[in-house]
């Protein structure tokens, strides 16, 4: 039985990927920075908590990462750990860089030193491209506009340089926003859905929001983790944009959710300038031509179906 090691197994993507790998016949080991306080509710919701092994690892500490490689001896490695909030990265820039860029470098160096034959996929971000009014491809220039995007950009180039310099099967999935019921409550998708439900039950309820004009390629998380596995299994390592077919504004997101409950989001949402980021990324348009042609990856559901799953808490 082959073994997969997932850094960040307790998050949305880590849990979905763990379930997919188990279904593919892999033994799955995951990492957490603090097992004593880590919540396994995502793994429990997918009914796989008892089927995976969790180990305590500090991704920003090389010795900790190297030790888990020597113990687990993985065949596949996925890095989904680190800071996941663009907004929070402005408040915690050092932690963002350490948990994303430094952690990725530690994993790559561990593979180089003691992981011959390991296939590695790193979770990148479309935030690296910055503002785009024409679709970005994998060769488009990076213009990051947040500490999070700067860290993800550095991690991308770490992966690229190790692939070229040492021949590692190392790839980056440049992922756009993706959602599921496993998403944390502080993310805007869950905030909007919770607000709509509250407003349906209490007409006096109001929710404060930041910039609703932002445009992203919102996709379905189970589709995205399927792309990660395709990348790991590919004959050659490469970088791929993973995104939904169409880009949608956050206000359209909110309107759809509130309309589902027979409400108008404009009546219940109050724009608060204090919630705007210091440097907002308004629009990032993306092209998925490469992953469709080379790996035959396609999203399985569209934007409307995704929102209905989110609203109704459907995990698949």
In contact, 265 and 251? CB cutoff 8 Å: yes
Which residue has 């920075």 as its token pair?
33
In contact, 230 and 206? CB cutoff 8 Å: no
List 64, 99, 110, 125, catalytic entry = 125
Is residue 240 flagged as an active site residue?
Answer: no
The closest alpha carbon to 275, from 150, 90, 84, 83, belongs to 90
**Whole-angstrom Cα distance, residue 79 to residue 170?**
11
Which residue has 């919102």 as its token pair?
218
Long-range contacts of 160-169 (CB under 8 A, 24+ apart): 160/239, 162/108, 162/111, 162/112, 163/237, 166/112, 168/108, 168/111, 168/112, 168/118, 168/120, 168/237, 169/118, 169/119, 169/120, 169/236, 169/237
In contact, 155 and 124? CB cutoff 8 Å: yes
Is residue 125 flagged as an active site residue?
Answer: yes
In contact, 41 and 137? CB cutoff 8 Å: no
Pair of tokens at residue 211: 């910039």
List 127, 162, 189, 256, catalytic entry = 127
Do strands 215-216 and 248-249 pair parallel, antiparallel, or not at all (unpaired)? antiparallel
Is residue 179 flagged as an active site residue?
Answer: no
**Whole-angstrom Cα distance, residue 284 to residue 194?**
26
In contact, 96 and 103? CB cutoff 8 Å: no
Pair of tokens at residue 52: 């995976």
List 16, 26, 148, 162, catalytic entry = 148
Beta bridge partners of residue 132, listed in sequence order: 284
The closest alpha carbon to 267, from 191, 189, 200, 186, belongs to 200
List residues with catalytic annotation: 125, 127, 148
């Amino acid at each position: 039985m082959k073994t997969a090691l997932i850094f960040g197994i307790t998050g949305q993507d880590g849990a979905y990927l763990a379930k997919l790998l188990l279904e593919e016949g892999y033994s799955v080991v995951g990492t957490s920075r603090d097992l004593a306080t880590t919540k396994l509710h995502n793994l429990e919701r997918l009914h796989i908590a008892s089927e995976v092994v969790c180990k305590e690892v500090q991704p920003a500490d090389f010795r900790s990462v190297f030790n888990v490689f020597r113990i687990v001896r993985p065949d596949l490695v996925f890095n989904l750990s680190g800071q996941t909030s663009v907004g929070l990265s402005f408040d915690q820039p050092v932690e963002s860089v350490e948990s994303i860029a430094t952690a990725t470098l530690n994993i790559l160096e561990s593979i180089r030193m003691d992981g011959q034959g390991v296939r590695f996929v790193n979770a990148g971000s479309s935030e690296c491209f910055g503002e785009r009014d024409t679709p970005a491809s994998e060769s488009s220039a990076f213009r990051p506009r947040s500490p999070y995007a700067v860290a993800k950009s550095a991690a991308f180039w770490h992966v690229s340089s190790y692939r070229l310099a040492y021949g590692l099967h190392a790839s980056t999935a440049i992922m756009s926003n993706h959602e599921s019921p496993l998403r944390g409550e502080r993310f805007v998708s869950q905030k909007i859905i919770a607000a709509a439900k509250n407003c349906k039950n209490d007409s006096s309820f109001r929710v404060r929001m930041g910039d609703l004009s932002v445009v992203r390629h919102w996709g379905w998380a189970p589709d995205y983790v399927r792309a990660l596995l395709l990348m790991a299994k590919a004959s050659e390592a490469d970088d791929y944009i993973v995104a939904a077919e169409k880009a949608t504004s956050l206000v359209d997101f909110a309107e759809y959710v509130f309309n589902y409950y027979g409400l108008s989001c404009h009546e219940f949402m109050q724009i608060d300038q204090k919630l705007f980021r210091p440097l907002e990324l308004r629009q990032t348009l993306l092209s998925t031509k490469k992953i469709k042609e080379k790996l035959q990856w396609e999203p399985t559901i569209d934007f409307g179906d995704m929102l209905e799953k989110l609203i109704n808490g459907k995990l698949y």
